Amino acid sequence: MKSFDAIVIGAGQAGPFLAARMVEKGMTVALIERKFLGGTCVNAGCMPTKTLVASARAAHVARNGAVYGVNLSGEIAIDMKVVRARAETVTMNARNGLIGWFAGMDGMTVIYGHARFEGPKTVSVNGEMLTAPRIFLNVGARPVIPELSGVNDIDYLTSTSIIHLDTLPRHLAVIGGSYIGLEFAQMYRRFGAEVSVIEHGPKLASREDEDISDAIADVLRSEGIDIHTGASDIAFARSRDGITVATDSARIDASHVLIATGRKPNTDDLGLDAAGVITDKHGYITVDDSLATNVDGIWALGDCNGRGAFTHTSYNDFEIAAANLLDGDDRKVSSRILAYALYIDPPLGRVGMTEKQARASGRKIMISTRPMSRVGRANERGETKGFMKVIADAETKKILGAAILGIEGDEVIHGIIDAMNAGTTYPALQWSVPIHPTVSELIPTLLGDLKPV
């Protein structure tokens, strides 16, 4: 039995940084990872996918150069082997950086293998038994494959496997019209593939308000992506040229199928029962406001706790745990204002409540919208798709939420994120003097147009 001050299972965007903080405090830590350091973000999520998005945008800009007076002769050719290699380089640089960082830490023991609980303070890995008074779970999540007719008879792709493609699909069918699926849909359309999106629900990006969802669909359709919403009876069959995807109202001849219908936590093979750790019906580990599980001395961070599904929320889980356990603070998950982005082009930046949620809350609310076509920077760049939207509380004057679907929306939203976290009222923001010409300069104007609903 090997003893440590702490054991961290999973090397995503929370556990490794918490482990490093504990080592700085003079503790001994075992960091156990079954595959690659860095978790989903580094290896199969943000870093490789956003690198691919950048390549796809470069192709799109080159293809539309004549609009800006830049004429390129011949067809724009995409070398998918180079595209893939570039994404792989970004991943490997980040992963190797982590390996080097941990190798230089006295007190850190990195173990590659599959960890399982043998008791509330004991873990087995590679035939060895480890024990610690504190155990942190940062095991992440993986794509979920729905039980659709014929799905097990075809060679489908997931968000993890598609990033390794080094050939261009003739026709990519994307099953699922949410964030991951939409990013890959636009990306591969810009690479030159025919793309169809098949969504069971009535709208794309169903978490968003209908006007945002409709605008997202308009952006994708404008680039030639075929969208099928309200699709039922989805079934797959092998065909002579690839895969036939059939729904109640459409039949698609695809060469490749991407299943992007959600993710599930990697908690089903950790031996949680042996430790007495409780999960919900979806497999997410139940935690309190400090990220502690029902078992004393065990915490769950990141995607596996169901309290956030993003790299930044996972990292914030680390910040909360470190502040409470190492710095004597009292941070709470419930204090977090959720913000995220959809990385289609133009991107969607989101924070706080949607209009639907704000209306359902019973508050007296105010709403303002402004099309990107009225933003000088957007016109100068020739990218006027989308709009801005903000929701505020009419009585407290606090901003409740915002959505910016448009050029640099994923960056512009941070002005509102910061204001909400600081508790700044919207009239105070109206007196800021933003830089011209920027997209952010329209925030005071947007706030000035707030009207009761």
Helix boundaries (H) for 397-441: 409-422, 426-430
E strand segments, 267-398 = 298-300, 339-342, 348-352, 365-371, 387-393
Helix boundaries (H) for 339-396: 355-360, 376-381
Predicted confidence at residue 127, as pLDDT, reads 96
- Which phi and psi angles does 197 have, rounded to 5°? -110, 125
Find out whether 355 and 438 touch, Cβ atoms under 8 Å: no
Are 97 and 21 in the same domain?
A: yes
| Cα of 146 vs its chain's centroid, Å | 20
Predicted confidence at residue 387, as pLDDT, reads 98
* Cα 260 to Cα 5: distance, rounded to the nearest angstrom: 39
Confidence label for 311 from pLDDT (cuts 50, 70 and 90): very high
Are 97 and 34 in the same domain?
A: yes
Predicted confidence at residue 452, as pLDDT, reads 97
Other C-beta atoms within 10 Å of 240: how many? 6
* 114 catalytically annotated: no
Task: Read off the CATH number of the domain in which 377 is found.
Answer: 3.30.390.30
Predicted confidence at residue 394, as pLDDT, reads 98
Find out whether 413 and 350 touch, Cβ atoms under 8 Å: yes
**Which of 335, 366, 388 is the endpoint of a domain?**
335
Other C-beta atoms within 10 Å of 60: how many? 18
Answer with the residue of higher pLDDT: 339 or 241: 339
Are 179 and 238 in the same domain?
A: yes
Are 171 and 232 in the same domain?
A: yes
Residue closest to 265 by CA, chosen among 141, 86, 173:
141
3-state secondary structure of 379: helix
Task: Read off the CATH number of the domain in which 268 is found.
Answer: 3.50.50.60
Residue-wise pLDDT for 181-240, tens only, equals: 999 999 999 999 999 999 999 999 999 999 999 999 999 999 999 999 999 999 999 999
Find out whether 283 and 140 touch, Cβ atoms under 8 Å: no
Binding site for FAD, by residue number, is 50, 303
pLDDT at 74 over 90: no
Are 347 and 438 in the same domain?
A: yes
Are 10 and 94 in the same domain?
A: yes
**Which of 335, 357, 387 is the endpoint of a domain?**
335
Predicted confidence at residue 73, as pLDDT, reads 86
Are 203 and 312 in the same domain?
A: no
Find out whether 172 and 188 touch, Cβ atoms under 8 Å: yes
Are 89 and 168 in the same domain?
A: no
Confidence label for 171 from pLDDT (cuts 50, 70 and 90): very high
Q: Which domain holds residue 106?
A: 2-142+264-335
**Which of 282, 303, 335 is the endpoint of a domain?**
335
Residue-wise pLDDT for 335-366, tens only, equals: 999 999 999 999 999 999 999 999 999 999 99
* Cα 287 to Cα 267: distance, rounded to the nearest angstrom: 14
* Cα 179 to Cα 214: distance, rounded to the nearest angstrom: 14
Predicted confidence at residue 366, as pLDDT, reads 98
Q: With the CA atoms of 85, 90, 93 and 94 taken in that order, what torsion angle do they form, in degrees rounded to the nearest 10? A: -140
* Cα 216 to Cα 354: distance, rounded to the nearest angstrom: 15
Other C-beta atoms within 10 Å of 48: how many? 26
- Which DSSP state fits 285? B
H or E element at residue 259: strand 256-259
Residue-wise pLDDT for 97-131, tens only, equals: 999 999 999 999 999 999 999 999 999 999 999 99
Ordered strands of the 226-228 beta sheet: 226-228, 194-198, 171-175, 256-259
3-state secondary structure of 397: coil
Are 136 and 284 in the same domain?
A: yes
**Which whole number is the average pLDDT over 248-273?**
97
* Cα 15 to Cα 139: distance, rounded to the nearest angstrom: 9
Residue-wise pLDDT for 136-163, tens only, equals: 999 999 999 999 999 999 999 999 999 9
Residue closest to 32 by CA, chosen among 109, 87, 120:
109
Predicted confidence at residue 362, as pLDDT, reads 95
pLDDT at 287 over 90: yes
Give every CB contact of residue 291 below 8 A, 6+ residues apart in sequence.
299, 300, 301, 305, 307, 317, 320, 321, 333
Are 121 and 57 in the same domain?
A: yes
Answer with the residue of higher pLDDT: 406 or 240: 406
pLDDT at 75 over 90: no
Binding site for NAD(+), by residue number, is 176-183, 199, 262
Are 9 and 128 in the same domain?
A: yes
Catalytic residue among 60, 312, 414, 436: 436
Give every CB contact of residue 294 below 8 A, 6+ residues apart in sequence.
276, 277, 278, 286
Among 29-33, 308-312, 402-406, where is mean pLDDT lowest? 308-312
Q: Across all residues in the chain, what is the average pLDDT? A: 97
Q: CA–CA distance from 381 to each of 64, 280, 376, 377, 438 (Å)? A: 12, 47, 9, 6, 11
- Which DSSP state fits 338? P
pTM: 0.96
Are 106 and 12 in the same domain?
A: yes
Q: Reply yes or no: is the peptide bond before residue 437 cis, omega within 30 of 0.
A: yes
* Cα 405 to Cα 370: distance, rounded to the nearest angstrom: 10
Binding site, by residue number, is 50, 176-183, 199, 262, 303
Domain count, the chain: 3
